[in-house]
């Protein structure tokens, strides 16, 4: 077993506030039927609303969206095209880029190396870092935000949550005792402030299935543990926040006129659901004021899984192309005004 330890970040993150008190299992959400929108070429996505909006929030998952999935999660890197596009977007007035990830924020910042004014959501929404200017809308360029989020508080665990994390560690460690002697099998455990993630990518399918069943059995022992399923990972978390909660905080902090969310995994469906609700509110409000519905938000799934998103593109390469288009078009719109 390989244990990839990530210590509690010294600073600076703040726990997000969950929207509900009941356990929130990614396997049981969303409640509405999922869709299978046809894949679009990045050049065919209508980005006119994003390009012209006074203020825009561009929220992006990291693994599988900006960075291709890797057997070893420590080797994940953002594609150069996305890196360049995010830098260009972050330099534009009225444009806020946010990374929304299952990674803890310390690891996300190390792997993604985002621009100083990017906002970060980590641990599936349990950590939110808005820098030292959380009360400002994204009207400024890179100088408008601090490179360090020194104003934020460190994440906290209750005594019960610390106990559950300890129980999770013991439960996962016990899997080694079920393996045949001398099997030499190794699996990777990613330690996060509020959870433990077991990676099964690259494992023999029989071993991966057995490990998965063992891991999720921890929920039977402790009802407060949340099981999160993803691409070849199973995560046991002691916080109930979701990416939807994180996105809601980003929208509340920035009050954007338009929002783009790109995600590839099951956990991103919570963010798509949140953006769907936000879009419906904005559309209803616009129709009431002008008599014409107006929706400037986009929900885009990366990959071929069922989704609540209304559009789909193929892979991180397509993401890089789309972000580059948005950066170029938005810069052109602003230069023309």
Percent pLDDT > 70 in the chain is 78
Arithmetic mean of pLDDT, 318-336? 97
Per-residue pLDDT, 151: 36
Q: What pLDDT band is residue 109 in, cutting at 50, 70 and 90? A: very high
Q: 18 or 204: whose pLDDT is higher?
A: 204
| Least confident residue range of 99-103, 111-115, 277-281, 297-301 | 277-281
Q: What is the pLDDT of residue 295?
A: 56
pTM: 0.82
Cis geometry, peptide bond prior to residue 322 (ω within 30 degrees of 0):
no
pLDDT tens string 258-303: 999 999 999 999 999 999 999 888 765 544 555 444 558 999 999 9
Whether residue 178 is predicted with pLDDT greater than 70 in this model: the reply is yes
Q: Which domains does the chain have, with CATH numbers?
A: 34-156+241-336 (3.40.50.1000)
The predicted-structure confidence for 5-62, as pLDDT tens digits, reads as follows: 433 333 334 444 443 333 334 333 445 678 899 999 999 999 999 999 999 999 999 9
pLDDT-derived band at 141 (thresholds 50, 70, 90) equals: very low
231 vs 274, higher pLDDT: 274
Which tokens go with 221?
């022992």
Percent of the chain with pLDDT over 90: 67
Tokens of 21: 């008190």
């Amino acid at each position: 077993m390989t244990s990839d330890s990530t210590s509690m970040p010294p600073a600076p993150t703040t726990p997000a506030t969950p929207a509900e008190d009941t356990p929130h299992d990614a396997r049981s959400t969303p409640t509405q039927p999922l869709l299978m929108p046809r894949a679009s070429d990045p050049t065919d996505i209508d980005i006119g609303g994003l390009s012209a909006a006074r203020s825009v929030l561009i929220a992006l998952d990291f693994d599988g969206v900006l960075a291709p999935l890797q057997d070893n999660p420590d080797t994940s890197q953002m594609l150069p095209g996305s890196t360049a596009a995010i830098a260009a977007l972050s330099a534009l007035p009225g444009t806020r880029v946010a990374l929304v990830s299952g990674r803890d924020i310390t690891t996300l910042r190390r792997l993604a190396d985002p621009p100083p004014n990017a906002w970060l959501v980590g641990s599936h929404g349990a950590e939110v870092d808005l820098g030292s200017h959380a009360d400002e809308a994204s009207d400024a360029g890179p100088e408008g935000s601090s490179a360090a989020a020194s104003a934020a508080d460190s994440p906290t665990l209750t005594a019960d949550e610390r106990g559950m994390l300890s129980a999770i560690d013991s439960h996962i460690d016990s899997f080694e005792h079920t393996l045949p002697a001398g099997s030499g099998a190794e699996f990777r455990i990613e330690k996060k402030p509020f959870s433990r993630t077991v990676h099964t990518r690259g494992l023999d399918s029989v071993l991966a299935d057995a490990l998965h069943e063992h891991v999720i059995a921890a929920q039977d022992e402790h009802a407060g543990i949340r099981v999160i399923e993803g691409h070849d990972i199973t995560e046991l978390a002691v916080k109930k926040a979701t990416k939807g909660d994180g996105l809601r905080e980003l929208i509340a902090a920035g009050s954007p006129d338009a929002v783009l969310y790109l995600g590839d995994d099951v956990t991103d469906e919570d963010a798509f659901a949140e953006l769907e609700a936000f879009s419906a509110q904005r559309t209803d409000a616009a129709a009431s004021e002008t008599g014409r519905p107006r929706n400037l938000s986009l929900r885009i799934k990366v990959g071929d899984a069922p989704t609540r998103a209304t559009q789909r593109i193929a892979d991180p390469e397509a993401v890089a192309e789309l972000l580059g288009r948005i950066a170029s078009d938005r810069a052109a719109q602003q230069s023309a005004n």
